[in-house]
Structure 1
């Protein structure tokens, strides 16, 4: 079973479904989680992406994990290539699973997760569990 699950989140509804499922999986298996939110490295994009609701994404995940008695670490990463940041964070943190949504937000925010899922699948040597809406 998995011992350490990386959960990338962009705060979208699809991402929240993946967070919920991954946290339940962690609780049932006794795994710990690291929740990561990737922001653009470009300063102009980072200020747009770091809206007040964005600042609560990791705090909300930490609260959910606490409620489920799941050990949770949160991490905000600034990166030019979100998929690379997700994969490298999983490796650096010794995660044995990446659990993420099949797509994220639309528009500018979709660059942060949804369009990155395929790239994570392609570049990760760690298993990736993809959650679909519906």
Structure 2
């Protein structure tokens, strides 16, 4: 079973569903989690991609994990290629699973980021569990 799960989140509804499912899975298996939020390196792009309260994304995940008694570390990472930042973080943190949504934000953020889940699936040597809406 998995012992350390990386949960990337962009704060979207789809991402929140993945967070909920991954935290339940972590609770049931006794795994710990690292929740990560990736922002662009360029400050101007970061402000365009930012949700109204970026800090609340990770704070909300930490609260949910605490409620479920799941050991959770939160991490904000900066990188112009979110998929690479996700994979790199998983490797650095010795995660044995990446659990993420099949798609994230729409609008400008999706145009800028593209299909990060597909890129993580393509490039990760660590198993990836993808949660789909619906």
Shorter chain as normaliser: what TM range? Answer: over 0.9
Shift of 1:115: 1.4
TM-score scaled by length of structure 1: 0.95
Corresponding residue pairs, total: 134
Query: Does the 8 Å contact 1:35/1:58 carry over to 2?
Result: yes
Shift of 1:48: 2.4
3-state secondary structure, aligned to 1:23: helix
Shift of 1:114: 6.4
Query: Does the 8 Å contact 2:11/2:51 carry over to 1?
Result: no
TM-score scaled by length of structure 2: 0.95
Give the unaligned 5+ runs of structure 2: none
Query: Does the 8 Å contact 1:82/1:112 carry over to 2?
Result: no
Q: Which runs of 4+ in 1 moved over 3 A?
A: 111-114
Query: Does the 8 Å contact 1:103/1:113 carry over to 2?
Result: no
Query: Does the 8 Å contact 1:18/1:131 carry over to 2?
Result: yes
User: CA offsets, 1:6-45, max 9 Å, x none?
Assistant: 0000000000000000000000000000000000111111
CA distance in 1, matches of 2:19, 2:77: 18
Are the structure 2 counterparts of residues 73 and 111 from structure 1 closer, same or farther at C-alpha, using a change threshold of 3 Å? farther
Alignment RMSD (CA, Å): 1.4
CA distance in 2, matches of 1:95, 1:61: 17
